[in-house]
Amino acid sequence: MTEPRGPVDASRVPRFAGPATFARLPRLDEVSRADVAVVGIPFDSGVSYRPGARFGPAAVREASRLLRPYHPGLDVSPFARLQVADAGDIACNPFDIKEAIATIEAAAQDLSAPGTRLVTIGGDHTIALPLLRVVHRLHGPVALLHFDAHLDTWDTYFGAEYTHGTPFRRAIEEGLLDTEAISHVGTRGPLYGKQDLDDDARMGFGIVTSADVMRRGPDEVAAMLRERIGDRPLYISIDIDVLDPAHAPGTGTPEAGGLTSRELLEILRGLAGCNLVGADVVEVAPAYDHAEITSIAASHVAYDLISLLALKEKP
């Protein structure tokens, strides 16, 4: 097997030059295989408040120019251990949510060749449902870690079943998740009523609030999550609004009292060794963040997810 082709050398090509791919990695059509495909889904027609996450994939790719090939926190060089490639964007209908979901599902299925795992950059959280359908087809019901300020298990918005606030209720209804191992992390803020929590618990979700993270710390939280997950196939879905607006102002539905970027990254690093089979980072809306704080955080989150996938492989 040929050695992985990594990013452009930043000592030879300045970071503000070179390819506009994620971390300046090769495009998928430039390599013979991909262990990990980074794919953008610029879709935000499922949002209930501020639009703009359709521009998230491009902004995260731009911020990822600052990433370097060695991860000291996890002691891994992910781009040397895995062939990671940028698969570009899945283009879907911005006017028809059901058609867009079908397009995303079909394209993600095509990209999920044997041995290829997807790290997806959204886009709003609607996209998690078709991605979970594809993962379920490959692995059966999966454990889920859902990092988010919100539950995203509501039933409908204005009578619409498919929105960024409903994907995990639909996933439960479709049997995509292992309900013994599903958790929200970082939730906070007002709800429509206590019934929201009752419905969520009935589906099987455990909740680690942002206040829990603050009181217990990232290491204890990661240990709790690992115990719940076990060795099950794991999907991680990260809404960037899990971070406090101080750390991620560029998102559609910000809530005060969130995680710091350091807390989120440390929890992810505490999951090293879990059987991660796919992940997404969503709801980056760069129009509300002119300092690129949110895109920078999201690029590092995606990098840590790729690094977790790399740790599954033998050196």
Residue 13 counted as domain residue: no
- For range 284-295, the mean pLDDT: 96
Q: What is the pLDDT of residue 240?
A: 98
In a domain, 236, yes or no: yes
Express each pLDDT in 176-200 by its tens digit. Answer: 999 999 999 999 999 999 999 999 9
Q: Looking at residues 194-208, what average pLDDT do you find?
A: 97
152 annotated to a ligand binding site: yes
CATH number at residue 70: 3.40.800.10
Domains: count for the chain:
1
For residue 114, what pLDDT band results from cuts at 50, 70 and 90? confident
Domain residues for the domain of 157 are 22-311
Does 248 map to a domain?
Answer: yes
Q: Assess if residue 302 is contained within a domain.
A: yes
SS (H, E, C) the chain: CCCCCCCCCCCCCCCCCCCCCHHHCCEHHHCCCCCEEEEEECCCCCCCCCCCHHHHHHHHHHHHHHCCCCECCCCECHHHHCCEEEEEECCCCCCCHHHHHHHHHHHHHHHCCCCCEEEEEECCHHHHHHHHHHHHHHHCCEEEEEECCCCCCCCCECCECCCCCCHHHHHHHCCCEEEEEEEEEEECCCCCCHHHHHHHHHHCCEEEEHHHHHHHCHHHHHHHHHHHHCCCCEEEEEEHHHECCCCCCCCCCCCCCCECHHHHHHHHHCCCCCCEEEEEEECCCHHHCCCCHHHHHHHHHHHHHHHHHHHCCCC
pLDDT of 150 strictly over 90? yes
Q: What is the mean pLDDT of residues 219-231?
A: 97
pLDDT at 113: 83
Per the annotation, does 241 bind a ligand? Answer: yes
Q: Which of 251, 254, 262 is nearest to 284 (CA)?
A: 251
What's the predicted TM-score (pTM) here?
Answer: 0.97
Among 107, 70, 66, 111, which residue's Cα sits nearest to residue 90?
Answer: 107
pLDDT (mean) for 257-265: 98
**Is residue 77 one of the residues assigned to a domain?**
yes
The confidence score (pLDDT) of residue 8 equals: 94
**pLDDT band with cut points at 50, 70 and 90 for residue 224:** very high
Which pLDDT score, from 0 to 100, does residue 312 have? Answer: 78
Average pLDDT over residues 28-46: 97
- Tell me if 300 is assigned to a ligand binding site: no
Q: What pLDDT is recorded for position 1? A: 63
**1 lies in some domain:** no
- Is there a binding annotation on residue 75? no
pLDDT of 238 > 70? The answer is yes
Whether residue 56 contacts residue 122, with contact meaning beta carbons closer than 8 Å, is answered with: yes
Is the Cβ–Cβ distance between 81 and 312 less than 8 Å?
Answer: no
Q: What is the pLDDT of residues 7-31, one digit of tens each?
A: 999 999 999 999 999 999 999 999 9
Per-residue pLDDT, averaged over 58-65, amounts to 98
